[in-house]
Amino acid sequence: MEFKQVECFVAVARKCSFSKAADVLFLSQPAITSNIQKLEKELGIILFDRRNRNTTLTKGGEEFFPHALEILNARDKAKMALDPDNKKIEGVLEICASTIPEQYLLPHIIKAFKEAYPQVLFSIRHKDSKEVAEEILVGKTNFGFIGAKYPNEGIKYIDFFEDRLVLITSPEKSFNTDSISIKSLIGEEIVLREEGSGTRLLIERALKEKKLDINIFKSRTINYSLEALKKMVALNIGISFASDISVKCEVASGRLKQYEIEDLNLNRHFSLVYCNNRYLSPVEEKFKDFVAAWKWNNIDI
């Protein structure tokens, strides 16, 4: 068994694609296929189900995946122990992010990090906050950026941005004050993000603190896209809640109106998350420290 074969296996498992794994590892797709076939022959099992459009792990592949991570982790630790001065900041960082960090925060961080370390490449995937946490736990990604916390000893959280949700409405629907009570919204039609979204989770928790729930609203439309949600609110299909940084342009242009909810705690932190039980390579350690020290002063989000 060769490290390159294990690297190819992990890359395909993370990307659910031979071609995308080839892009990340800078190999040809036939080279990826050859390495996987050699690994399957040595292990005596089929690692991937290639019948569907997406490449997925077989049961044997799922069982081998954590061992593959341990193999690569042990290799990296050994290399550092034998040559502690070799701390080249290069490689590919796998990142999984929820909507707000992906669209409004992560681009600024990546730009600054690449200016300091131009040899580092990024591979970014979108998931909701709950899915990101799950990806971290099973080792499918190096880092995550999310707006909710899921207590688990295997996940480490580093808060890096303070956020708040605001009520958004169409200009056609207006309230007489900039700050309103949640009870004044009972019976309103609402457009919500999907379950698993950090925004949805915060709303539900805030309502629960007031002994209320989502059912106070007249009807609910579920939307998996923030941009589509904002469009639906602008068309007066319903009200909604969104991060204030995500509606700045729409509010400034008059396409949406924004209100504070005076009796709900809608503040939260966005966090960098990573596996607490995994060795971090030099580039991963550098990125973690970079985000932890990040300052948003004078940055126009």
Per-residue pLDDT in tens (0 to 9) along the chain, 301 residues:
999 999 999 999 988 899 989 988 889 999 999 999 999 999 999 999 987 778 999 999 999 998 998 898 888 878 777 776 656 788 889 999 999 999 999 999 999 999 999 999 999 999 999 999 999 988 888 899 999 999 888 899 999 999 999 999 999 987 888 889 999 999 999 999 998 899 999 999 999 999 999 999 988 889 889 999 999 999 999 999 999 999 999 999 999 999 999 999 999 999 999 998 888 888 899 999 999 999 887 788 8
CA distances, 219 to each of 190, 208, 215, 222 (Å): 6, 18, 8, 10
Closest CA to 223 of 245, 209, 238, 208: 238
CA atoms within 13 A on the CB side of 49: 10
Give the architecture (CATH level 2) of 1-86. Answer: Orthogonal Bundle (1.10)
User: Residue by residue, what is the 3-state secondary structure of the chain?
Assistant: CCHHHHHHHHHHHHHCCHHHHHHHHCCCHHHHHHHHHHHHHHHCCCCEECCCCCCEECHHHHHHHHHHHHHHHHHHHHHHHHCCCCCCCCEEEEEEECHHHHHHHHHHHHHHHHHHCCCEEEEEEECCHHHHHHHHHCCCCCEEEECCCCCCCCEEEEEEEEEEEEEEECCCCCCCCCEECHHHHCCCEEEEECCCCHHHHHHHHHHHHCCCCHHHCCEEEEECCHHHHHHHHHCCCCEEEEEHHHCHHHHHHCCCEEEEECCCCCEEEEEEEEECCCCCCHHHHHHHHHHHCCCCCCCCC
How far apart are alpha carbons 145 and 80 in whole angstroms?
27
161-268 belongs to which CATH class?
Answer: alpha beta
Distance CA 208, CA 200 (A): 12
Q: Which of 75, 176, 92 shows the shortest CA–CA distance to 141?
A: 92
Annotated domain spans of the chain: 1-86, 161-268
Strands (E), 13-151: 48-49, 56-57, 91-97, 120-126, 143-146
